Structure 1
């Protein structure tokens, strides 16, 4: 649908804060993802700092559209599926538009309407009114109760309404269309607060899985319904009913969790008479929900982090309990999926086909595929981030997965055309190699014959002839079959392979043995120089006794590896690899497992997809092999300076725990941008557009999250280090309770200089069930009492956290 931003109300343009948005595929459906129009980075819908003026947003190129934030009194009503294919508006939508009589426009899809209006400091009663009424297809956007933005198109409906305050009209709309079928009792003020601030998905799922019906919940979340339900639709309703209880009938959170379950399918978003199948299922589950989970209520035997109501009736005291005890590490199921939609078309299609055929996560094929691009293009191109600053296109990628996850199968499918190209290349040069060998052997025979004759007496004519033959031999370098890749090899052998391959080489391995070789397990001495210099392109000089010296001025080395988690443990704990920065050069990926949900009969890779991928690999491998390194530059719109500044703030905050890796992160994003562009552009187009840079940043954020997970698994994340340090002090003290101030004195020094600095660590330990923090009762006189830290006796039994 055409957009005419000039028709947006002037007051909306002046007052509003705007973002851009891009239609991207998330969890099997197209989703409107907000972006900061200035920096190009992902935006948070409820963070004003991510928004900008109308002029800057409207002027940003490469996006699907713009949106306005719910700030400064701006509100909206979203009416879904109210416009039919002929452009006719439903009667209910007409009533609502007439009631609000404020600026109204068509949604980007043309199937809905957005009503924008003002309602300053509006107090929304979420206990009484829905925010989203799935049954009616109505959603209300009011500051403080929504975390969304509103897309704007400028495609106004025929009735030209002014953009004005509509507080009274909003009251009528809520009473008429958004009143809840039943209002949950307000037991305490604390419960009211909890209702407005629902549990995070991770905490909710953990509690649900540990409840009385936890096994049934786990099976439904994994998509295992056959044998328990007569149809998947019945299973959908069962899971939604459980989610209604656990989320406190929060429709948005129910939908969000369901989309990450194994039951998610295309039917969820299929239209149903002004609504969708998923919306109707959620609404039915909410309508039939007789009781909701409230932190602090364990009447149904559910563990809680809050106060229990089944305390000592004689004294009137309330017993408190701990959060579910979990190991002190991030949850793998919270890691973001690889944004496959950001890959070049032919690679994207092939990755999806391989993932479907192998029944593995697309992450595995996508990360290996990115490594394949590096193998093809390294040493031929570099990307310029700034004047005087360039990054080579080498990558070290490593996929971490347990045995049985089909790592070898996916690696074979993704890299087979690299090996086929090597074979075909050598076949095409076989006759040339044979002729070279024959010519050199003939010269060597003649040289040997003359040398033998000259052993007995000098002969100036023969000496001149010998000299000429030796010169000819030197001018005919030995030709051997090309080697582009190796599996496991020593660092010394790898150096020689790089030297004999014109400075460009790759290691492709499905086992962790290469790390043993790096660490010197067999030689007794670690030799990391070739790996460190091959990644950044620094010159390699090697002098060995009895051998010709080797000099590689600009080495280009890439690695595509897949390992088991136990190997990662060894890597992270290796002081040499860690201290010299080798582990900071790898891009880590821990794909989610599909074991338990895989099917036996799968579709083969479509021939046309396979052929397009093969053609891509052959074209990229053949590029620029004999030419000087070419430089790819950033377009003016694709400059990464704003994102660099954001990342700098990350480095001094959350990024401190992975500082060695994070300091190389922007360089990795630039390398990825270069690879994405060169794999999808015409030859000679050496300017990276903003869309490609945005995709590179999205992929970079994926690797950032997975690196933080990999580091924290091994205890190298700073927040985990702090938590383990504090827990070690508590365990050594062996106390049941301790005041926060006393605990701070025990831990003062390395990590904590002030009392308040220890609080985030205590919150982390409390959230994972190791401790409980009890707030003191407030007193109107005297100094406030210190908070009390209560230690979970079950956690004390753990040998490892």
Structure 2
């Protein structure tokens, strides 16, 4: 009888010879095809063979063991090379997905680090590239603005969303980039501690001056008493500040928070906050996870994107007013959470969805064949290059040293200005986007998102400018603006594709399958209700499912004239239709 971790399972005789094979799952999850006759007889047919070694075969076969270190053949079945996602690599999108992030548009150091992460973590390069832009915006947003026109400037924070399924490598990638903030956090803490110490010294100086004046014989009695009272109050304030200094500002907050709790934290954090969340918890909270399914308070999310004044309206949940709420959201959820967000009527109507740079690159699961690996007893050919990580940490540290705008007059804030060439190029792009918003344009069906697009591109340009080593004292070049526009066009393709990539709910999918199976590629609402749902679907639910299908951009509603009332028909869009 077979022993150990593998049990023999008899199979019919191998068609290519007298070899009966069996299959078993290894402890590491590899599907192993093993010959039932003694010795390594690899079966013929498709598959990629990998040679593994085992000290003792007696726990696999019930006959005598083979010599030590005898090779065992592991046959990894080949997978389909067609269908959605086929052919995906870190730098090539799989079938059915929008193209990969254009890394050539990034500054050299940023490009190198993004590509390095994509290879090491075996993830689409879109994930590290977009996450880096989001984290850059979280540090720059509270401190730096960019101005295109005399009376039009933009903050530099971003809302980014890169959706990948669980197990696709999101967390290791995002964690490494998040850890790059440690140097910036340390610098921020040092500045905070110096500011607190300077405040204590200033209070102590004021106390001494007041007491000196109070002891002066020329000071009137009433004024003397007032000075001593004020000195005592300031002395108490200095003592309390020394005993319990305020906490240092935080650069990052966890995704498991509510808008109300986040507003309270921002009020104590110079009005700034960045939520870096690789699970999508924050989006679930916005969608009503803690409020019985009712969409959460979206006010902070709407105002925080534009870095405006925010004062909570809810009487029962009080938070201090924030002069300039600078919020950054860097989220990497599962695609299903993105689908829920895009279907959420409140998020759609208020414009929350339209503030995000959205990317759904498709996973590499099943295609991750180039993951670097070195056995722990071996000496690596070369040690890990930490250049990218060190560059990233230093870049964030440099930006965090800009003064937080807060209550400062925006005119006095650190501001990136454009060269005339960059200004002209952005103007031309703005006009081109405007034309594409027309009914026959490719952006018409996502016009609510696209109307914010040129401002987003301006923000991206500012971040590329800073990532390239320039400062707010340097003018932004035309080439940097061209790179930002390139990234902007990539983001347009992904948002256009998002509706169909995130997947449909089960019932919307049933409608799609039915329509696709008809000869003409269409069906009336009444036929859908009768044939698909057997008359058991509520009218409002049927409307929602059809809305969801139409929102993908691949289907449309049309009204057909009949001898009676016009009939609503849902059909697949004809080739070339917008």
Q: Which residue number in structure 2 is paired with residue 485 of structure 1?
A: 252
Q: Which residue number in structure 2 is paired with residue 41 of structure 1?
A: none
Equivalent of 2:303 in 519, 533, 545: 533
**SS class of match (1:703):** helix
**SS class of match (2:332):** strand
Equivalent of 1:630 in 414, 429, 438: 414
Q: Which residue number in structure 2 is paired with residue 515 of structure 1?
A: 283
Task: Verify: 1:643 aligned to 2:455, yes or no.
Answer: no
Q: Note the 1:351-500 alignment, pairs <5 A.
A: 351-423=114-186, 425-426=188-189, 465-471=228-234, 479-487=246-254, 488-500=256-268
TM-score for the superposition, normalised by structure 1: 0.46
C-alpha distance in 1, partners of 2:151/2:197?
A: 44
C-alpha distance in 2, partners of 1:474/1:689?
A: 49
For each residue in 1:96-134, what CA deviation from the matched residue of structure 2 results, as whole angstroms up to 9, or x when unmatched?
A: xxxxxxxxxxxxxxxxxxxxxxxxxxxxxxxxxxxxxxx
C-alpha distance in 2, partners of 1:264/1:655?
A: 28
> Retained in 1: the 8 A contact 2:417–2:474?
yes
In the TM superposition, residue 531 of structure 1 has moved relative to its aligned partner by: 0.7
Unaligned runs of 5+ in 2: 1-45, 51-80, 207-221, 374-381, 533-557
Task: Verify: 1:588 aligned to 2:358, yes or no.
Answer: yes
**SS class of match (1:482):** coil
Q: Which residue number in structure 2 is paired with residue 697 of structure 1?
A: 485
Q: Which residue number in structure 1 is paired with residue 53 of structure 2?
A: none
Q: Note the 1:92-103 alignment, pairs <5 A.
A: none
Q: Which residue number in structure 2 is paired with residue 682 of structure 1?
A: 470
C-alpha distance in 2, partners of 1:551/1:751?
A: 50
Equivalent of 2:454 in 654, 663, 666: 666
Q: Note the 1:57-136 alignment, pairs <5 A.
A: none
For each residue in 1:13-48, what CA deviation from the matched residue of structure 2 results, as whole angstroms up to 9, or x when unmatched?
A: xxxxxxxxxxxxxxxxxxxxxxxxxxxxxxxxxxxx
Equivalent of 1:601 in 362, 372, 381: 372
Q: Which residue number in structure 1 is paired with residue 348 of structure 2?
A: 578
> Retained in 2: the 8 A contact 1:344–1:676?
yes
In the TM superposition, residue 362 of structure 1 has moved relative to its aligned partner by: 1.0
C-alpha distance in 2, partners of 1:669/1:635?
A: 16
In the TM superposition, residue 413 of structure 1 has moved relative to its aligned partner by: 1.1
**SS class of match (2:189):** helix
Structure 1 residues 416 and 700: alpha-carbon distance in aligned structure 2, compared to 1, 3 A threshold:
same
Structure 1 residues 731 and 546: alpha-carbon distance in aligned structure 2, compared to 1, 3 A threshold:
closer
In the TM superposition, residue 437 of structure 1 has moved relative to its aligned partner by: 8.9
Q: Which residue number in structure 1 is paired with residue 494 of structure 2?
A: 706
**SS class of match (1:606):** coil
**SS class of match (1:383):** strand
> Retained in 1: the 8 A contact 2:187–2:401?
no
Count, aligned residues: 422
C-alpha distance in 2, partners of 1:537/1:376?
A: 13
What is the Cα-based RMSD across aligned positions, in Å?
4.4
**SS class of match (1:667):** helix
**SS class of match (1:385):** strand
**SS class of match (2:417):** strand
**SS class of match (1:485):** coil
691-700 or 546-555: which moved more? 546-555
Task: Verify: 1:554 aligned to 2:324, yes or no.
Answer: yes
**SS class of match (2:415):** strand
> Retained in 2: the 8 A contact 1:353–1:606?
no
C-alpha distance in 1, partners of 2:567/2:435?
A: 22
In the TM superposition, residue 698 of structure 1 has moved relative to its aligned partner by: 0.9
C-alpha distance in 2, partners of 1:409/1:392?
A: 29
For each residue in 1:540-583, what CA deviation from the matched residue of structure 2 results, as whole angstroms up to 9, or x when unmatched?
A: 12377699862322221111111001211221222211111111
Q: Note the 1:232-271 alignment, pairs <5 A.
A: 261=87
Structure with the bigger RCO (C-alpha within 8 Å, sep 6+) is: 2
Structure 1 residues 264 and 362: alpha-carbon distance in aligned structure 2, compared to 1, 3 A threshold:
closer
Structure 1 residues 264 and 673: alpha-carbon distance in aligned structure 2, compared to 1, 3 A threshold:
closer
